[in-house]
Amino acid sequence: DGLEIKPLMPNVWFRVGTIGMQLREWDTALRAFSEVVQQEPEEGDAWANVAAIHMHNKNPAEAYPALLESLKQNRNNWRVWATKLYACIDLKKYDEAIQACNQLLDMKARRNAAEGIPPLEERCIR
């Protein structure tokens, strides 16, 4: 209700989106994160969440542009690269899937494997 009165509160919208995702209220979460990216287009985490919701809804075509926007801000976020890999495979954008795979390999080489980057075989063989 408060967001209807003061709709220009991206930090509150982000929280609403996060709670929506936790509650599996995907439409609410998508609306909230969409509000965030309209108000703050450079908010890479919100773009990543928009993409994640679209991928959850099995809509890689909608996720793809959100992933590109997220990667403008989140170049070092392996989760966004992994999601881009999935989306590109689903969309038959194999050249970009290979690029995402290479980026994940580079990130894995630079970081300790314990930092959570999963084995790429799990990502590439789906």
Please give the pLDDT value at position 8.
Answer: 81
Model confidence pLDDT, tens digit, residues 77-94: 999 999 999 999 999 999
Q: CA 21 to CA 41: how far, in whole Å?
A: 20
106, 87 contact by CB (below 8 A): no
Q: CA 60 to CA 70: how far, in whole Å?
A: 15
Count CB neighbours of 8 within 10 A. 10
* Number of residues in the chain: 126
Task: Give percent of the chain above pLDDT 90.
Answer: 75
